[in-house]
Structure 1
Amino acid sequence: MTSHRKTLRTAAELAEHGLVRPQDAAALDAVAARYAVAVTPAIAALIDRSDPDDPIARQFLPDPAELDTADEERPDPIGDDAMSPVEGVVHRYPDRVLLKLVHVCPVYCRFCFRRAMVGPGGRPTLSPKKIAAALDYVRGHREIFEVILTGGDPLILAPDKLAAVVQALGAIAHVKVVRVHTRVPVAVPEAITAALVEALKIPGKATYVVLHANHPRELTENARDACGRLIDAGIPMLSQSVLLRGVNDDDKTLAELMRSFVAARIKPYYLHHGDLAPGTGHLRTTLAEGQALMRRLRGRVSGLAQPTYVLDLPGGAGKVPVGPTHAVPVGGCEPGGPAHWEIEDLQGRTHTYPPGPEDADPAPEEDWDGRESES
């Protein structure tokens, strides 16, 4: 195994650096021919080569299972194209739009819901003419309050090009918020330079950066420092993660991930259920598994560390919260709602609300202290 300072993009390069077995390279070439591969030095350094089930490797190294496409999977699982009035713009919700400036990323996630669109062989970066058309669309729709820069990864752009778009958006009176979705602070932390940070600032407007990370090991010292440069400049950060089998689908890892975000001054925002992207079934959990995890997370970490568990409905209908229900209506109806509710507490016990005179306060369980067990 040799150290490297370049992004690894082929099975042969991955094998050369000890990330995959040489005898698997031919099979992995078939995966790389269909879905882009890129592993930066920062990500490669996180992979435990001695662990065949390493959670970082599962996110970034190609797997022959990706060549198996289930019947329900689709190239555009959340319906971006159906909601695109002009190239690069997705207008799914009334008050906000996506602006996809680029379709390349510093790293390519093996579960990416836009995997059929991104990569060197994917859709092209928006030309200046098409960026102008996208900005004209935003100017012409006064209901647009927020513009979300996504892609691809918008922070892969040079600071001057990024600044030009950000400032153009900031000059639109009805646009009050620009949000940027990125993996760059984790994948290429050194790219978060003073020039890039400055490019994101808009006088009189709000810029938010949403970091995509799925495992606590991704929040290295370098990644936290990169995020700190943004936050210290007055740019608040949120997180988004994807619930992934073998990566973060257990209580301990998910709790540690959310606490790690909060400790880095990043507010947990979304935990996405895996989308129906082609060749990703081996990484998806079930909704029931996700709800059970969220139910347990509620009792283990503070509200500050709670993400919203969401499903992006296939076809473009949008995100829907799919977290567990802790309140169930019971009994007859009255104006304004049911007469009573059954409420489940953090210990799984059920309470009637409002309580009746016969409902005694439950005694605390002797072994309950709100912490996860060591098992």
Structure 2
Amino acid sequence: MILKEGSTRGFRAYTAKHLNDLLERAGLPEEERLRIRAVATVLPFRTNAYVVDQLIDWSAVPEDPIYRLVFPQADMLPEADVTRLAGLLQSGAPNAQIQAIATEIRMRLNPHPAGQLELNVPKVGTEPLPGTQHKYPETVLFFPKQGQTCHAYCTYCFRWAQFIGEPDLKFASDDVDGLIGYLKEHPEVTSVLLTGGDPMIMGEPVLRRYLEPLLQLEQIESIRIGTKSLAYWPQRFVSDPDAGDTLRLFASVVEAGKNLAFMAHFSHPREMEPPVVEAAVAGILGTGAIIRTQAPLIRSINDESGLWAAMWRRQLTLGMVPYYMFVERDTGPQDYFAVPLARAYGVFRDAYASVSGLCRTVRGPSMSATPGKVCVDGVTEIAGQKVFVLHLIQARDPELVGRPFFAHYDPEAVWLTDLRPAFADHFPFEREAVAPVPTA
């Protein structure tokens, strides 16, 4: 897709200062709007005119799934916290007081799950390399400093802590030389993932500064870009002023012999309905890049097997590769969005069973937990015990990848830490045994 001369970006962002006006559009009563604004003092809010005008069905608000995907809900946080903050907002309390309470609440929401700040940060010598994670031997994640926002924020985002303006919770870097130096010292790394935020918020000249040095490293086989831009601002690849240059940059990555994997987040079939999405996908695929799709299973937004089957079929039709169904992570408003693992497996299985083999490239439901990506393979009965069957798709310890293990069935469990090992006194990734679950 070649950009027409004279095109302009036309992007308009909406933030918390616009929230009340947008909620009035939904016809919500004043008390409800106040409580939603209270939640937005804790969790970040950002959307844009494309999402608001093209994706949300305002006649169906507040049940509309795209509305729930980007707008805070009054019951996302404990009622006592929301009531406290709403009272401060209503009384015109100083912003410093409101932010102090908001920070206190945030610290209870596990802002950095899976030890992101402690366990995954690599070092050059004795010095940590900021904005970089090296969790699996072959893959390094890099968080470009200029890519630490998004075209719109998802209410379920596990990286919400990146967007709230707390310097101690920020995780980003513009040290490209440091990254390249680290990669040269670690020849086992063959794949680099640019993530955020959303790297595609960056203009082409800035994105080029991060991508081009990677092309000089023979060890790098693949470069991935994690992004929600195809759902929230597909114009990035069609009509933005640097859309053409961006696609040419993608083509140069492929021409350099690297696999360019565009890791696209689609949470609902409606995000793929506008014609501009099809044009954007065609433009990216025309560069030789591969688009792989992923999203978490989110209660009240996409927790129906028919929606997932429809997403995978549409993605296949457009030339994309279904890749992952994730489990909502143990951070932020997990209690609001989480789907129990047993039900998550049922949603995945029913959707998987209703699509062709070409869609069955997808894996899940998968938990990105501390030891690695844990996949729920099923629920079965062994030796009279009902159990979850699981395996690690990825692991800190590569020896554990692909080895099945078992957990006692718990219909309420929503995360790995809710499970107890079956037929063993500890899980394969645990160094110390945990107390066995009493049998009836």
- Residues 160, 291 of structure 1: CA spacing in aligned structure 2 closer, same or farther, 3 A cutoff? same
Q: Aligned in 2, Cα 1:66/1:136: closer, same or farther, shift over 3 Å? A: farther
**Closer, same or farther in 2 for the Cα pair 1:18/1:6, shift >3 Å?**
farther
C-alpha deviation, 1:59, in angstroms: 0.9
User: Are 2:229 and 1:223 aligned?
Assistant: no
1:312 aligns with 2:355: no
Please report the RMSD computed on the Cα atoms of aligned residues, expressed in angstroms.
2.6
Conserved 8 A contact 2:367-2:374 = yes
Measured in 2, the distance between the counterparts of 1:92 and 1:125 equals 15
Q: In the aligned structure 2, how far is the partner of 1:19 from the partner of 1:38?
A: 20
Q: CA deviation at 1:138?
A: 1.8
Give the whole-Å Cα distance in 1 for the aligned partners of 2:307 and 2:173: 41
Percent of aligned positions that are identical: 25
CA distance in 1, matches of 2:334, 2:170: 24
Q: In structure 1, what is the Cα distance between the partners aligned to 2:188 and 2:331?
A: 31
Q: Distance in 2 between matches of 1:240 and 1:212?
A: 5
Distance 1:133 1:119 in 2: 26
Paired position in structure 1 for 2:413: none
Query: Please, which of 37, 43, 47 is the counterpart of residue 51 of structure 2?
Result: 43
Contact 1:170 1:176 in 2 (8 A): no
Indicate the residue corresponding to 1:172 in structure 2: 217
Cα pair 1:95 1:145 within 8 Å, conserved: yes
Q: Please tell me the residue identity of whatever aligns with 2:310.
A: E
**Larger relative helix fraction:** 2
Verify the 8 A CA contact 1:180 1:210 in the aligned structure 2: yes
Alpha-carbon deviation of 1:325?
6.0
For the residues of structure 2 that align with 1:325 and 1:167, how far apart are their CA atoms?
46
Residue 19 of structure 1 deviates from its aligned partner by: 7.6
Residue equivalent to 1:89: 132
Alignment match, 2:410: none
Tell me: CA distance 1:120–1:213, structure 2 relative to 1, closer, same or farther (3 Å). farther
Look up the match of 2:240: none
* Aligned partners of 1:72 and 1:276 also within 8 Å: no
Contact 1:70 1:279 in 2 (8 A): no
1:9 and 2:15 matched:
yes
Structure 1: segments with no counterpart, 5+ residues: 331-375
Q: Alpha-carbon deviation of 1:70? A: 11
Mapping of 1:360-375 within 5 angstroms? none
SS of 2:247's partner is helix
Partner of 2:247: 197
Structure 2-normalised TM-score?
0.69
Counterpart of 1:79 in structure 2 is 115
Q: Which of 229, 246, 249 in structure 2 is aligned with 1:184?
A: 229
For residue 78 of structure 1, what is the amino acid of its counterpart? A
Question: Which whole-Å deviations, capped at 9, do the CAs of 1:299-324 have from their partners, x for residues lacking one?
Answer: 2101222320143354x211122132
Q: Offset of 1:5 from its aligned partner?
A: 6.0
Q: Distance in 1 between matches of 2:182 and 2:27?
A: 45
Could you state the TM-score of these two structures normalised by the residue count of structure 1? 0.80
How far apart are residue 217 of structure 1 and its match?
0.3
- Residues in 1 aligned to 2:38 and 2:295: alpha-carbon distance in whole angstroms: 28
Q: Tell me how far apart the structure 1 counterparts of residues 46 and 109 of structure 2 sit (CA, whole Å).
A: 23
The Cα shift of 1:260 comes to 1.1
Using the alignment, how far apart are the partners of 2:130 and 2:347 within structure 1?
38
* Letter of the 1:132 counterpart: D
